[in-house]
Structure formats: C-alpha cells, structure tokens
C-alpha cells in the first residue's frame, strides 16, 4: 500500500502521512484533499513512500488526489522547501501561501476556451515562438550605458545577479524590456516583480504595447480569485510569456523561466510583514540561482545590502549615469529653518517658489510623510491627548471626515466636543499632516487648485486613477502628498518639489530610517523637471549640513551609501551581520517578556557564534490591545545563524505556552 506525504496548511513543522492506494511518483506536486480533524483540508503531496513512521492502522486514506491540473514541478516544491527552511515556517504553510487562494482550496478556475492547452501539449515549447512577439517600432533609441547594460545581461545566460543602478529617468525600464525581448525571442519566460499593485496596470499597458504577440499575466493580491488562479495556470502550463506582479508573483511556476527582473528592489514592500515573512527580492535571487538564469535588480537608490554586494563584486554593478529623458537633474537645495518663523510650517523661500510656479502656470508638489490633519488632538489646560485605547499610539485627527483615527489598528471615533477629562471645549490640534497643509495652502493661494494625494484620498485603485487623470489633465497646481507613487508617469509641468518635516527620520531609532528617507526624497525629486523645464527641490531642515542632505544635493547616492555602510560596519548592522527577530504578543507585557526570556534560555546552549540580545518591549509596545516584546539574535555568518535557528525553533515549539500568547520568528527583519 502506498503512502503520500502531505504538506498541510497548519502551524506545525511536519508533514502528514495518508494512505493512497493508487498513488505513485507522478503524484508528487499534486494537490490532495485529506481528512483533517473534523473536516477536509487541501494540501500538496511532497513525497510518496512505502512505509510510514506512524503505525499503519493510525493512517487515514486520502479523500481524493486532484489530478485535474499538471503536478507542480520539482523546482517549485524545492522553492517552497527553501522558504520553509530559510524563514523557519512549516512547509505546508509556505506551499499553501504560494498557491492562489482558489487552488489552495482545492478548486480550479474555469479556463477560457482560447487558452486551453490542446491534449498532451503543455503550452508553447522553446523555439516555437516564430510569431513576432515584439513591436520594435515602439523602441526608443538607447543611450550608450543602456546599450551596454542590455548586452551584458543578455550575454550572461547563466546565473548572475545584476544591480542596475540609475536615477529616475535614466531608462531602467527600457533595459528590462530589451532584455525581456531577447528572452522571448529564445522562447523563454520572464518574471518581473514590482513593489506596488498600483504600479502594475500602467506597466502592464506599456509591456503589452511593446509585446503585442506575447501572453502577459499579472499577479497581485488585489485580483479576483479566478483571474489569479487562471494566471497561475497559464504560467505553470507554459502559456504565459511574461509574468508581471507584486511580491507573491515570485512563487509562480514557470517552466521556461529565463530572466527575473526586480524593479525598485530597495522597496520595503518586497518583504512580507505577516505570515510567511519572506523577502521576494531575496527569494527571487535564490530562484535565479536555482534555475541558473540572470536576475536584474533595478533601483535609483539600491538597498544598502544590495549596494554592498554590488561593490564587493558579488553582484555585477551596471550603472546608468545619465537621464534618458531630460538633460538636467533637478536643482536640490536645503532651507535652514532654524532662524526663521515658519508660516504654518512653510518657509518664506518655499512660499515664494510656490508663488512663482503659479505665475508661470507650472505644477508644484509639497511632500510631507504624515497623513491626517494633525498627529494628535490635545487639551492644553489639563494635558489630555487623544490616545488609542488599543495601541501605544496617538489617535490622528482627520478633519476631512471629522474622525480621530489610529493609524496602527484602524480604531476610529468621532471628535469629542469637549475634553473627556476636564470638559474644556477648546481642544487643539498639534502638529501637521497632509490635510492641514492642504487647507493652509488653499487659504494662502485661493486661486490655486490644491490636490491632496495620500492613502486617504487614494484609498482605492479607482480613486488613485481618478487623481492621476486630474493631474494629467492639468487640474492640479499644487499637490500635497505623502509617498509619491507615480513611477512611470511623467508630469511635464511639475517643476517644484518641497519637502517638509523630513528631519524626523534623521535620528529615528530604526537604523534603516535614513536609507528610506534618502530613497523617498530622491524619488520625489526625480519626478520634477523631466521635460524641457528644469526642476527644483527645496528641503526644509534644521540640519542643513547633514551628510544625507549634502549627498542628496549632489545627487550622489554612492557617497551617501558609502557613509551609511561605514556606520553600519562600525555598528555591526546588516549587511555586516545577519539578524532574526523573535516576537511575542500577549495580554500582559510580562507574559510576552517571560516567554522571550524562556526562549533566550533555550537558545543559550545552541548559540555558538550567535549573539543573543535581551528581550525588550517593542517600540510600538501595544497593538490592538496586545502587549508586544521582541528578542533579537544576530550572527556575523549566515549559515551559522541558519543552523542555530533550525535547532532553536525545535525547542521553541516544545516550550510551554501561556494561554493567549502568540509568537513568530522574522528572519532578516526590516522593522524594529
Ligand atoms: Zn490603535
Ligand atoms: Zn482637558
């Protein structure tokens, strides 16, 4: 009698054996329905065996092996196994996550007739792509550096990690497209990862226009279940030529995969912050290595980890030094705000520059990375401030819809008429968010059309699209916004960017905050002056001589990165060390810290070559009424850390858990 080993989506680091009389090796990689507890679960068969470690009479038979789609290939299973090992997550949870929700539930989407594979054929085979896939009429001419980059990537053939470093407008996307064209011409598939769902529609449009004969599949969590499952099958069965998606697309099975592109590789959204805490960029590199194919990481401001590898020769650095679109880089200047009285947070220089743009009929953008009207509502006489009842955080005042809102847990409530503590009716907003800036600018420049762009005003793709259309139609003179998610969109009349309140990130407790600030400012600055009009970037600061701003003014990412890497080397931070974070949450902080202390004791005998820090409350120590603590472990050597984590996890699973306590491990954490 045959036994199948099944990876099931349960939080236990083991496989489950079931009886399956009719199974054989060809069932490895198939989905299977099995009885589990009182119900039926769908899992993936990862092995078949003649014997089990469990007593045979304890084993149950499978409900049914799902043979309605081709088995998932060995390299896909190996990818899941790698993630399970590296991120210390049960294989069943990884495999389940890697499948689209519909397939995960044991269902299949209805496939359109046109794309159904003919019997016995699994899609397009290599060399069969005589059809012209590319529309070469749409190719812009290449600059020398672009040309060299394309040649180098195409020539690589085998595994090689490229870092394509080029400022906004230097034509990175064109390099990706040329390399992809080459891959398609050889009958291969290409995978392109982008950080945001919002970026996919317009990129898809550009890719589709360029490759009208190619089958392009999108993959992101915003898609309807059936569409996502169809895309997965198109990729798996070889019909898709190009897969374009957010981080989860890294798990698409691609039999003819020949190239991976990770655009904006520095973006933090490539790292998932819940469940399987994987970095899609890092997993993509592993996958390229597994398949022995080139991978291109592109960015204007690479993550310091990536840039370090570019400098050490582990990755191959490809520089695009010039802008392909405009002649000049924007003029970046700092405004010293220490000795001037600001008007609602704005300096006279910035106000003058805004006036000038209005007179010339040009557009401006004021960047402030804080949503809402004011970060807190306060009662000055008694000291009351608006606090979230569930989190260690303030409730943010949103005047646009008259609410107090927690940006961490989503709790919201109306604005009190009077102070809940003393009855005073003169409650005051403190500090400044985008809504307040919007109001102030509208009052100051009554003739201007002021448009706010943040997660509140662009809360859905539809609203975001509408905002973009307004901007493109010239319907905004001044934009106020947090993150400027508009890659690939040219705003030809945007000639001024003002940055307000950026200093906070300079001295943040998180050692990655300066890196993020530099990337943000470089990105917003890069949006200005892309056509015939020169751009100007004004940064208000109390630290005009700070190295970060100096490097920014000189457009010198390399200098900034070098100085940051020096600091990291001295401090022993990544990329000069490898980290993992154990986090615990419970009803009481003591509970969480006690668990972490026990975890630390369990780690001590295993921790040769690993530094164990002390358990501490997290910076956001209460979230959704749960108290949270963390324990950092670190090593100078990645294999040492990995070996330690594997042993440690076994002991953690065996630890006694107080009721209500939850924990997880985050390997290569980005958030502290
Ligand atoms: Zn909250
Ligand atoms: Zn009061």
Burial class (CB in 10 A: 0-12, 13-18, 19+), 123: buried
The pLDDT tens digits of the residues spanning 335-359 come to: 999 989 998 899 999 999 999 999 9
pLDDT at residue number 202: 76
Confidence of residue 121 (pLDDT cuts 50, 70, 90): very low
- Residues 428 and 223: their CA atoms lie apart, in Å, by 42
Closest ligand to C-alpha of residue 420 is 2
Q: How far is the CA of 401 from the centre of ligand 1 (A)?
A: 18
pLDDT at residue number 475: 83
Closest ligand to C-alpha of residue 409 is 1
Q: How far is the CA of 409 from the centre of ligand 1 (A)?
A: 4
Residue 485 clears pLDDT 70, i.e. is over it: no
Q: How far is the CA of 587 from the centre of ligand 2 (A)?
A: 29
The pLDDT tens digits of the residues spanning 244-303 come to: 999 999 999 999 999 999 999 999 999 999 999 999 999 999 999 999 999 999 999 999
Residue 326 clears pLDDT 80, i.e. is over it: no
Q: How far is the CA of 194 from the centre of ligand 1 (A)?
A: 30
Query: Quick one: average pLDDT of 583-599?
Result: 95
Higher pLDDT, 529 or 632: 632
Q: How far is the CA of 383 from the centre of ligand 2 (A)?
A: 6
The pLDDT tens digits of the residues spanning 400-433 come to: 889 999 998 889 999 999 999 999 999 999 999 9
Residue 133 clears pLDDT 70, i.e. is over it: yes
Closest ligand to C-alpha of residue 388 is 1
Confidence of residue 321 (pLDDT cuts 50, 70, 90): confident
pLDDT at residue number 252: 98
pLDDT at residue number 123: 46
Query: Quick one: average pLDDT of 464-482?
Result: 86
Q: What is the DSSP string of 265-285?
A: TT-GGGB--SSS--BHHHHHH
Confidence of residue 327 (pLDDT cuts 50, 70, 90): low
pLDDT at residue number 122: 44
pLDDT at residue number 396: 95
Q: What is the mean pLDDT of the chain?
A: 90
Q: How far is the CA of 639 from the centre of ligand 2 (A)?
A: 56
Q: How far is the CA of 373 from the centre of ligand 2 (A)?
A: 20
Q: How far is the CA of 411 from the centre of ligand 1 (A)?
A: 5
Q: How far is the CA of 382 from the centre of ligand 2 (A)?
A: 4
Q: How far is the CA of 502 from the centre of ligand 1 (A)?
A: 24
- Residues 627 and 639: their CA atoms lie apart, in Å, by 32
Say how many C-beta atoms besides its own lie within 10 A of residue 438's C-beta. Answer: 25
Q: How far is the CA of 402 from the centre of ligand 2 (A)?
A: 20
Give long-range contacts, CB 8 A cutoff, 24+ apart: 451-460. Answer: 451/475, 451/476, 451/478, 451/479, 451/480, 452/479, 452/480, 452/481, 453/479, 453/480, 453/481, 453/482, 453/484, 454/371, 454/481, 454/482, 454/483, 455/371, 455/482, 456/371, 456/372, 456/398, 456/400
- Residues 480 and 439: their CA atoms lie apart, in Å, by 10
Distance from first CA to last CA of the chain, Å, rounded?
51
Residue 16 clears pLDDT 60, i.e. is over it: yes
pLDDT at residue number 111: 83
Q: How far is the CA of 620 from the centre of ligand 2 (A)?
A: 25
Query: Quick one: average pLDDT of 213-237?
Result: 95
Residue 325 clears pLDDT 60, i.e. is over it: no
pLDDT at residue number 468: 83
Query: Quick one: average pLDDT of 142-154?
Result: 94
Residue 458 clears pLDDT 90, i.e. is over it: no
Element (H, E) at 64: strand 64-66
* Ion ligand 1 contact residues with beta carbon within 5 A: 388, 390-391, 406, 408-409, 411
pLDDT at residue number 139: 83
Residue 442 clears pLDDT 60, i.e. is over it: yes
Q: How far is the CA of 589 from the centre of ligand 2 (A)?
A: 29
pLDDT at residue number 487: 54
Closest ligand to C-alpha of residue 624 is 1
Q: Among residues of the chain, what percentage have pLDDT more than 70?
A: 94
Q: How far is the CA of 622 from the centre of ligand 1 (A)?
A: 8
| pTM over 0.75, yes/no | yes
pLDDT at residue number 116: 44
Residue 14 clears pLDDT 70, i.e. is over it: yes
CA dist list (Å): 499 to 84, 168, 267: 42, 18, 20
Burial class (CB in 10 A: 0-12, 13-18, 19+), 453: buried
Q: Among residues of the chain, what percentage have pLDDT more than 90?
A: 72
- Residues 558-586 as b/e (b if ≥16 CB within 10 A, e otherwise) read eebbeebbeebeeeebbbebbbbbbbbbb
Residue 366 clears pLDDT 90, i.e. is over it: yes
Q: How far is the CA of 387 from the centre of ligand 1 (A)?
A: 8
Residue 486 clears pLDDT 70, i.e. is over it: no
Q: Name which of 89-103, 288-302, 456-470, 509-523 the model is least confident about.
A: 456-470
Instruction: Supply the DSSP symbol for 446.
Output: T
Sign for the CA dihedral angle at 607, 612, 617, 618 comes to negative
Closest ligand to C-alpha of residue 381 is 2
Q: What is the DSSP string of 591-607?
A: HHHHHHHHHHHHHGGG-
Residue 117 clears pLDDT 80, i.e. is over it: no
Closest ligand to C-alpha of residue 413 is 1
């Amino acid at each position: 009698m045959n036994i199948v080993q099944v990876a099931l989506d349960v939080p236990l680091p083991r496989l489950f054996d079931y009886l399956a009389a009719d199974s054989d090796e060809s069932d490895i990689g198939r989905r299977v329905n099995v009885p589990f507890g009182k119900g039926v679960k769908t899992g993936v068969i990862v092995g078949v065996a003649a014997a089990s470690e469990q007593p045979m009479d304890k084993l149950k038979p499978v409900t049914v092996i799902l043979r309605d789609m081709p088995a998932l290939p060995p390299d896909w299973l190996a990818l899941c196994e790698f993630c399970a090992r590296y991120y210390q997550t049960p294989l069943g949870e990884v495999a389940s996550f890697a499948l689209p929700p519909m397939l995960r539930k044991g269902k299949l989407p209805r496939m359109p007739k046109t794309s159904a594979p003919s019997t016995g054929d699994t899609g397009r085979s290599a060399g069969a792509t005589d059809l012209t896939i590319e529309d070469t009429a749409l190719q812009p001419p290449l600059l020398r550096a672009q040309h060299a980059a394309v040649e180098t990537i195409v020539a690589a053939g085998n595994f090689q990690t490229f870092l394509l470093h080029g400022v906004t407008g230097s034509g990175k996307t064109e390099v990706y497209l040329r390399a992809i064209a080459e891959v398609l011409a050889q009958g291969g598939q290409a995978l392109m990862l982008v950080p945001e769902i919002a970026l996919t529609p317009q990129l898809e449009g550009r890719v589709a226009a360029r490759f009208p004969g190619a089958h392009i599949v999108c993959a992101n969590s915003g898609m309807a279940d059936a569409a996502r499952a169809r895309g997965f099958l198109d990729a798996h069965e070889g019909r898709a030529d190009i897969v374009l998606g957010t981080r989860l697309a890294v798990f698409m099975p691609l039999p003819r995969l020949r190239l991976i592109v990770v655009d904006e590789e520095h973006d933090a959204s490539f790292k998932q912050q819940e469940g399987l805490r994987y970095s899609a960029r890092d997993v993509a590199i592993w996958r390229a290595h597994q398949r022995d194919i080139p991978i291109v990481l592109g960015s204007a401001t690479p993550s310091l980890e990536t840039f370090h590898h570019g400098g050490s020769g582990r990755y191959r650095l490809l520089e695009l030094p010039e802008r392909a679109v405009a002649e000049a880089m924007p003029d970046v200047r700092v405004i010293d705000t220490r000795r001037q009285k600001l008007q609602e947070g704005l300096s006279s220089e910035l106000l003058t520059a805004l006036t000038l743009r209005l007179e010339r009929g040009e557009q401006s953008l004021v960047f402030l990375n804080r949503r809402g009207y004011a970060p807190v509502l306060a009662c000055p006489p008694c000291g009351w401030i608006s606090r979230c009842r569930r989190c260690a955080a303030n409730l943010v005042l949103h005047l646009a819809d008259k609410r107090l809102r927690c940006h961490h847990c989503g709790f919201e409530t109306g604005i009190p008429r009077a102070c809940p503590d003393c009855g005073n009716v003169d409650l005051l907003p403190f500090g400044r968010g985008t809504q307040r800036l919007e109001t102030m600018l509208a009052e100051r420049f009554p003739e201007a059309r002021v448009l706010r762009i943040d997660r509140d005003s662009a809360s859905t793709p539809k609203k975001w699209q509408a905002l973009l259309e307004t901007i493109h139609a010239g319907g905004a003179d001044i934009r106020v916004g947090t993150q400027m998610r508009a890659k690939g969109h040219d705003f030809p009349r945007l000639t001024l960017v003002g940055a307000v309140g950026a200093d906070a990130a300079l001295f943040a407790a998180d050692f990655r905050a300066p890196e993020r600030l530099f990337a943000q400012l470089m990105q917003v600055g890069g949006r200005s002056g892309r056509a015939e009009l020169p751009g100007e970037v004004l940064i208000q600061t109390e630290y005009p001589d700070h190295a970060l701003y100096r490097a920014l003014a000189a457009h010198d990412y390399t200098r900034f990165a070098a100085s940051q890497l020096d600091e990291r080397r001295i401090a022993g931070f990544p990329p000069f060390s490898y980290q993992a974070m154990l986090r615990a949450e419970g009803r009481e902080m003591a509970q969480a810290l006690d668990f972490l202390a026990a975890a630390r004791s369990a780690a001590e005998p295993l921790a040769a070559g690993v530094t164990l820090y002390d358990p501490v409350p997290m910076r956001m120590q209460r979230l959704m009424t749960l108290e949270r603590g963390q324990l950092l472990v670190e090593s100078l050597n990645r294999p040492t850390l990995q070996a330690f984590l594997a042993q440690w996890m076994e002991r953690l699973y065996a630890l006694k858990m107080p009721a209500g306590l939850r924990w997880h491990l985050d390997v290569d954490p980005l958030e502290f």
